[in-house]
Amino acid sequence: MHGAYTAQRALEAGVLDELQISQIPVLFGGGRRLFDVLPSRIELEIVRVIDTPQATHIRYRVRR
C-alpha cells in the first residue's frame, strides 16, 4: 500500500491479504494515522519481523 488512505480503503473492501509496515526512528508530526479510521474490527497476525538499526519491518496477515 502507498499510504494510510489506500490501506484503509483496501481493508474496508476486503481485498487486502497482507500488510507490511516499515517503522523508522523519525517523527514527522503529521499525516494520516493508519489504524485511526477502520470500518470494523480487523484482526492482524504477525507473519514476520525484520529489525535493523535503520527500520523495523513488520508483515501482517489479515485474519478473516
Query: How does residue 57 score in pLDDT terms, banded at 50, 70 and 90?
Result: very high
C-alpha cell at 52: 535493523
Tell me the mean pLDDT in the region 41-46. Answer: 91
Beta bridge partners of 62: 44
Query: Residues 14-39: pLDDT tens digits?
Result: 899 999 999 888 877 777 677 777 76
**Residue 61 predicted with pLDDT over 90:** yes
Its pTM stands at: 0.76
HSE-CB at 37 with a 13 A cutoff on CA atoms is 9
